[in-house]
């Protein structure tokens, strides 16, 4: 009779083994392999790390030539001391992989259109196959391949990247399943070898994230819907309040290229009534991707030495975008933040100088309508004859399903991103090719390799010359007393509004007419005013001879310059305060308009209560400020009241009107054209719309107060999200100030991803912080240990330390790298 219970137990055991080694469906997603995931030997338990854990190791590799020591300080920041540059990059690659492997690889899966391979075609409400098709058809892999050719033709940078890749793979090869980062276990896949191509893909992804926001299709519809006069009012080129990076009135030399539009350009742009379907955009860069940077001369500082500051505004993720590091070799000492997935320090300082970057925001991505001979797309009409098409085959692997094949037509403009096979928004007979400056081969990594070694202004100028896309504003300061800023990139030489709309692709009349010569990307060196600055505003005023299409922020640059002009005897503490400055100069400019157009006698007691809160607000968007919540909600409501009637008369997708457009329109014109609601028989005034907008927000404001969330920090509800969006792995509901148009640009899950201040005294006096931690492991105490300090505006000291500074007592571990 013992056979029966034995048999039952065996069946149950086998069933459990099978059950716990399959993925069970949960909604549109699946669980991980539960047996593997829950196993004490291999599962997520292995990812738990005690605060007392040490990270000592001895790494041997045939790829190493000398001896490298790495000391991990109390915040898990590695200080690398290498006998030569190649070994330093090997160590950096190894450390990036050790602490951020899943993040590195996941980002390149996204860039390379491979998310379906690990996520399936869709899960948790996300269409990963659509994202993959989007990036493949955009030409992301094509662009990375072109850049890899350039990278690998440069012996010095190729050697650096080869060493970095070898370091990443050294760590990957040391892993067993139990040591996989948590997310591999959650998603049930394994890391694959790193390649130089993956680094190229990551850099192209950054090019997309920083310069990929556009509304060309929507703008084309707006152009065909509004009159030319209306269009220019709604979507102006430049603003009256503009404070460009290079000050107004700067005299520009005669341009080397004079962009000339075709004779029929105006006719095409404003008398062409063909609307366009707006194709699916499954992933869109945040239009507020940007940054602040500035440098003040010693003439304005208490120490007599320059101070450089930088805070790049990007998506706030866990693991963090940045990884802090010091690299020391016989050639150079550098400290700052790096990108996991790429060698070098990206933003930082060395023994001689410091640098920081902000987004140029220029439009370097345009669309051309291509006319094919037939649906096979084998020939297209260009310059008076049928041209043969080449095709690029992109194979998208899908987890658990057959591959998806994309046969992408390649034209003189670039890939045909949108055709009849793409989504359900396209007209069957429409084909749109994308021309993107990032498709050209380039070697942006060389810029940072050289900046890490820069000793003076000339080295800075040489280093940034390699940077092509995405365009960036490079601020610079040195211990020799120089400060400078330059907008650097490969910018198309365009006529006014070229590329703001879909362009005709039948001939070369609408082609880019070359690239703006590098010497016409103006460098501002040691200006008399004593500072240089940028905050994603226009680089020049509109007298600049080339069209500066793009998406710009006006108000951070305005308040930054106003504050810097007024400051003297500046200290590091002053700069910390300025980076965390919550004053809303946009609200300052808007307040007179709002107050002038409000009749308080028409408010009931509840409305009057909230109006009084707004009136008494000090215009600082601090966490405890209910006035900030009322203002932001009110202005958004006013935008709707002003423009919804005009835009609602069409079902065509339309572009967004900027906050600055409404404000400047109201400041210039008390009878603002768009105040009238064209859906009603009476003629509304600005005062009518301001009052209506205020009354409409009352339910939202009252509800927020009832929920104790009217104070701005709770109302905007910012946070730092895990890359997979998993709440348990995120830091949500961070109660802090800041916002859009504010120097402290923290809003929702976007904002200052790294704050750095460097005073270039004899002994460099530097500070920094980012909203995350060095480890990408959610089970580590160093996963998000800096978030709270970041949220409250605190900083840590950043130091280029000598090797003898470290001991067992002040480190979390020592890792040595030697030749095997």
The CA-based dihedral angle spanning residues 98, 101, 102, 106, taken in that order and rounded to the nearest 10 degrees: 170
Which tokens belong to 228?
């030319």
Per DSSP bridges, beta strands 365-369 and 503-504 are parallel
Active-site option among 116, 170, 291, 344: 291
**In the block, residue with structure tokens 């037509």:** 409
Task: Give the C-alpha separation, 768 to 325, whole Å.
Answer: 12
Which tokens belong to 85?
């540059």
Task: Give the C-alpha separation, 598 to 594, whole Å.
Answer: 6
DSSP 344-373: S-SEEEESSEEEEEEE--B--EEEEE--BS
CB 624 within 8 A of CB 712: yes
* Residues 6 or more apart whose Cβ sits within 8 Å of residue 682: none
Long-range contacts of 592-601 (CB under 8 A, 24+ apart): 593/663, 593/666, 593/667, 593/686, 593/690, 594/634, 594/690, 597/686, 597/687, 597/690, 597/691, 598/687, 598/690, 598/691, 598/694, 599/687, 599/691
Task: Give the C-alpha separation, 798 to 757, whole Å.
Answer: 9
Residue 765's DSSP bridge partners are 759
Which tokens belong to 273?
């009534």
Helices (H), 597-697: 605-616, 626-647, 659-668, 686-696
Which tokens belong to 271?
């008398």
**In the block, residue with structure tokens 């439009």:** 363
Q: Under DSSP, is residue 753 helix (H, G, I), strand (E, B) or coil?
A: coil
Fill in the DSSP letter of residue 611: H
Q: Which of 297, 305, 363, 327 has its CA nearest to residue 448?
A: 327
CB 503 within 8 A of CB 510: yes
363 is in an annotated binding site: yes
Tell me the residue ranges of DSSP E strands in 360-470: 365-369, 379-382, 385-388, 390-398, 401-410, 416-418, 432-436
Tell me the residue ranges of DSSP E strands in 233-306: 290-296
Kindly state the helix (H) or strand (E) to which residue 552 belongs, with its residue range: none
Task: Give the C-alpha separation, 602 to 599, whole Å.
Answer: 6
CB 499 within 8 A of CB 372: no
Which tokens belong to 816?
């040595």
504 is in an annotated binding site: no
The backbone torsions φ and ψ at residue 359, rounded to the nearest 5 degrees and listed phi first, read -75, 135
**In the block, residue with structure tokens 């003898």:** 804
Task: Give the C-alpha separation, 276 to 228, whole Å.
Answer: 18
Q: Which of 182, 167, 175, 177 has its CA nearest to residue 49?
A: 182
Which tokens belong to 623?
């966490």
Q: Which of 196, 165, 157 has its CA nearest to residue 445?
A: 157
CB 440 within 8 A of CB 148: no
Residue 613 CB coordination number (10 Å): 18
369 is in an annotated binding site: no
Helices (H), 395-547: 444-451, 457-464
Q: Which of 525, 523, 534 has its CA nearest to residue 564?
A: 534
| CA of residue 263 relative to chain centroid, distance | 38
Kindly list the distances between the CA atom of residue 709 and the CA atoms of 308, 623, 630, in Å, as whole numbers in the listed order: 37, 10, 12
Whether residue 478 lies in the annotated active site: no
| Binding residue ranges for Ca(2+) | 218, 363, 366
Instruction: Enumerate the active-site residues.
Output: 291
């Amino acid at each position: 009779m013992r056979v029966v219970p034995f048999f039952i137990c065996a069946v149950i055991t086998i069933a459990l083994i099978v059950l716990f080694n399959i993925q069970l469906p949960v909604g549109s997603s699946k669980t991980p392999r539960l047996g593997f995931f829950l196993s004490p030997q291999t599962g997520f338990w292995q990812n738990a790390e005690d605060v007392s854990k040490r990270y000592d190791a001895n790494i041997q590799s045939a790829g190493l030539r000398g001896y490298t020591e790495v000391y991990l300080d109390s915040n898990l920041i590695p200080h690398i001391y290498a006998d030569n540059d190649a070994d330093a990059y090997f160590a950096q690659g190894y450390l990036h992989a050790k602490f951020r492997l899943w993040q590195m690889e996941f980002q390149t899966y996204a860039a390379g259109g491979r998310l379906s391979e690990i996520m399936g075609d869709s899960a948790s409400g996300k269409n990963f196959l659509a994202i993959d098709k989007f990036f493949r058809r955009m030409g992301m892999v094509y662009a990375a391949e072109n850049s890899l050719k350039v990278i690998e033709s440069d012996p010095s940078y190729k050697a650096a990247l080869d060493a970095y890749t070898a370091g990443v793979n050294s760590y990957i090869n040391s892993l067993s399943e139990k040591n996989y980062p948590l997310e591999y276990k959650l998603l049930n896949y394994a890391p694959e070898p790193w390649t130089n191509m993956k680094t190229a893909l990551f850099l192209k992804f950054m090019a997309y994230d920083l310069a990929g926001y556009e509304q060309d299709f929507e703008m084309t519809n707006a152009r065909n819907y509004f009159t030319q006069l209306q269009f220019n009012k709604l979507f102006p080129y430049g603003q009256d309040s503009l404070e460009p990076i290079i000050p107004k009135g700067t005299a520009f030399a005669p341009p080397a290229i004079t962009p000339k539009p075709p004779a029929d350009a105006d006719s095409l742009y404003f008398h062409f009534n063909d609307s366009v379907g707006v194709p699916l955009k499954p992933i869109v860069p945040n239009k507020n991707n940007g940054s602040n940077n500035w440098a003040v001369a010693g003439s304005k500082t208490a120490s007599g030495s320059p101070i450089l500051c930088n805070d790049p505004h990007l998506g706030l993720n866990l693991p963090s975008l940045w990884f802090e590091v010091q690299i020391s070799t016989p050639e150079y000492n550098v400290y700052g933040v790096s990108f996991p997935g790429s060698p070098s320090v990206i933003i930082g300082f060395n023994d001689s100088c410091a640098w920081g970057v902000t987004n140029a925001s220029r439009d370097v991505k345009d669309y051309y309508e291509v006319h094919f001979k037939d649906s096979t797309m084998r020939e297209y009409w260009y310059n008076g004859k049928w041209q043969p098409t080449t095709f690029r085959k992109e194979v998208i692997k899908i987890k658990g399903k057959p591959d998806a094949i994309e046969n992408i037509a390649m034209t003189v403009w670039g890939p045909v991103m949108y055709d009849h096979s793409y989504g359900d928004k396209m007209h069957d007979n429409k084909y749109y090719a994308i021309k993107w400056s990032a498709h050209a081969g380039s070697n942006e990594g060389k810029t940072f390799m050289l900046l890490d070694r820069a000793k003076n202004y000339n080295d800075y100028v040489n280093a940034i010359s390699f940077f092509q896309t995405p365009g960036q504003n490079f601020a610079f300061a040195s211990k020799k007393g120089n400060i400078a800023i330059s907008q650097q990139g490969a910018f198309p030489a365009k006529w006014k509004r070229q590329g703001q709309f879909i362009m005709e692709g039948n001939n070369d009349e609408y082609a880019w007419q070359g690239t703006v010569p590098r010497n016409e990307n103006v460098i501002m060196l040691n200006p008399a005013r004593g500072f240089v600055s940028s905050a994603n505003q226009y680089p020049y005023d509109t007298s600049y001879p080339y069209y500066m299409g793009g998406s710009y922020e006006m108000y951070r640059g305005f308040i930054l310059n106003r504050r810097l002009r007024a400051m003297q005897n500046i200290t590091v503490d002053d700069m910390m305060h300025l980076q965390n400055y919550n004053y809303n100069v946009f609200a300052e400019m808007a307040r007179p308009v709002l107050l002038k157009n409000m009749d308080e006698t028409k408010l009931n007691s509840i409305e009057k209560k909230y109006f009084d809160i707004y009136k008494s607000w000090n215009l600082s968007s601090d966490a405890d400020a209910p006035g900030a919540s009322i203002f932001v909600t009110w202005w958004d409501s006013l935008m709707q009241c002003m423009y919804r009637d005009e835009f609602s008369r069409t079902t065509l997708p339309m572009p967004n009107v900027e906050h600055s457009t409404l404000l400047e329109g109201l400041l210039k014109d008390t009878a603002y054209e768009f105040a009238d609601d064209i859906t009603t028989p009476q003629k509304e005034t600005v005062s009518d719309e301001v009052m209506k907008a205020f009354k409409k927000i009352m339910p939202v404001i009252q509800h927020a107060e009832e929920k104790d969330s009217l104070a701005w920090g709770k109302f905007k509800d910012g946070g730092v999200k895990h890359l997979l969006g998993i709440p348990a792995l995120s830091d949500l509901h961070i109660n802090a100030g800041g916002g859009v148009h504010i120097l402290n640009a923290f809003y929702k899950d976007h904002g200052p991803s790294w704050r750095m201040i460097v005073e270039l005294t004899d002994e460099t006096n530097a500070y920094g912080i980012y909203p995350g931690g060095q480890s990408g492991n959610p089970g580590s105490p160093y996963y998000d240990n800096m978030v709270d300090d970041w949220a409250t505006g605190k900083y840590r000291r950043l130091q280029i330390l000598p090797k003898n500074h470290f001991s067992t007592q002040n480190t979390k571990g020592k890792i040595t790298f030697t030749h095997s």
